[in-house]
Amino acid sequence: MGLELYLDLLSQPSRAVYIFAKKNGIPFQMRTVDILKGQHLSEQFSQVNCLKKVPVLKDGSFVLTESTAILIYLSSKYQVADHWYPADLQARAQVHEYLGWHADNIRGTFGVLLWTKVLGPLIGVQVPEEKVERNRNSMALALQRLEDKFLRDRAFLTGQQVTLADLMFLEELMQPVALGYNLFEGRPQLTAWRERVEAFLGAELCQEAHSLILSILGRAAKKTLPVPPPEAHASMHLRIARIP
């Protein structure tokens, strides 16, 4: 059995792994795990990842979870272009610096709109407007800090070439963008950064990876999304309760 990737393209980290593998011509078998249908909670999937989360990489008997670990593994095993995960110690450290900051400041913040606009209503939960407003403010603050600390006058987040950092951040941005929130108003530097990253990845690959998330709001309005099964509700309620 070759490389297998367990993904749901509604998931930001899953999209990052998918785009990376596709862009670099890494052969893999796609194992779709539909989170809205509760497939991540199945006994079959729990044997792959007892944490019941995507993405997951399975390379023979070797199993790896967490998107950053997966991206680093793929970068190293398949000897992709050096700019993704530089061999130079200091350049690589800067990628790790961003990824650490990303986990604390971006990952839990930019996915909240999906919960407030789509996932919560699917199970009959309305998130208070004050929490939604706080989240908008948190996103704005994170973007300002990202521009001040990482982007600055660079073409990309850690230098003049695309790295894993740019891919991870792009996929987090796609969530609020797909839900109608304009992150780029008054931010020409960030707008130009996005255009550079998407041009590098290519329009066809971006459309392929983003079509599911870009259609989510329309599908929610038409009530064509699957309703998560009852066994998924407890963990969903807990995630919504954790929105600050």
The answer to whether 6 touches 58, Cβ cutoff 8 Å, is yes
At residue 217, the pLDDT reads 94
Give me the mean pLDDT over the 48-59 stretch.
97
Name residue 27's amino acid: P
Q: At what angle do helices 164-178 and 12-23 cross, to 10 degrees?
A: 130
Give me the mean pLDDT over the 6-12 stretch.
97
Same fold, 3-77 and 89-241: no
Q: What are phi and psi of 243, to 5 degrees?
A: -65, 120
Give me the mean pLDDT over the 206-216 stretch.
97
Distance between CA 170 and CA 232 in Å, rounded?
28
At residue 241, the pLDDT reads 95
Q: And the tokens for 94?
A: 């800067």
Q: And the tokens for 98?
A: 């961003």
Give me the mean pLDDT over the 130-155 stretch.
96
Which residue in 227, 144, 131, 214 sits closest to 180, CA to CA?
A: 214
Which residue in 201, 120, 107, 91 sits closest to 146, CA to CA?
A: 107
Q: Which CATH number fits domain 89-241: 1.20.1050.10, 1.10.3470.10, 1.10.3720.10, 3.40.50.10860?
A: 1.20.1050.10
Q: Please check the confidence at residue 124 and state whether its pLDDT lies above 90.
A: yes
pLDDT band at 8 (very low <50, low <70, confident <90, very high): very high
pLDDT mean across residues, the chain: 96
20 DSSP β-pair partners: none
Share of the chain above pLDDT 70, in %: 100
Biggest CA–CA distance in the chain, Å, is 50
| Fold entry, domain 3-77 | Glutaredoxin (3.40.30)
At residue 179, the pLDDT reads 93
The answer to whether 228 touches 37, Cβ cutoff 8 Å, is yes
At residue 66, the pLDDT reads 97
> Listing from the earlier edge strand, what are the strands of the sheet with 62-65?
29-32, 3-7, 56-59, 62-65
Domain boundaries, the chain: 3-77, 89-241
Name residue 33's amino acid: V
Distance between CA 189 and CA 160 in Å, rounded?
14
Cβ atoms within 10 Å of 109's Cβ, excluding its own? 20
Give me the mean pLDDT over the 25-29 stretch.
98
Per-residue burial over 166-198, b if 16 or more Cβ lie within 10 Å, else e, is bbbbbbbbbbbbbbebebbeebeebeebbeebe
Per the listing, tokens 């839990």 go with 108
Q: Please check the confidence at residue 155 and state whether its pLDDT lies above 90.
A: yes
- pLDDT tens digits, residue range 163-200? 999 999 999 999 999 999 999 999 999 999 999 999 99
Q: Please check the confidence at residue 1 and state whether its pLDDT lies above 90.
A: no
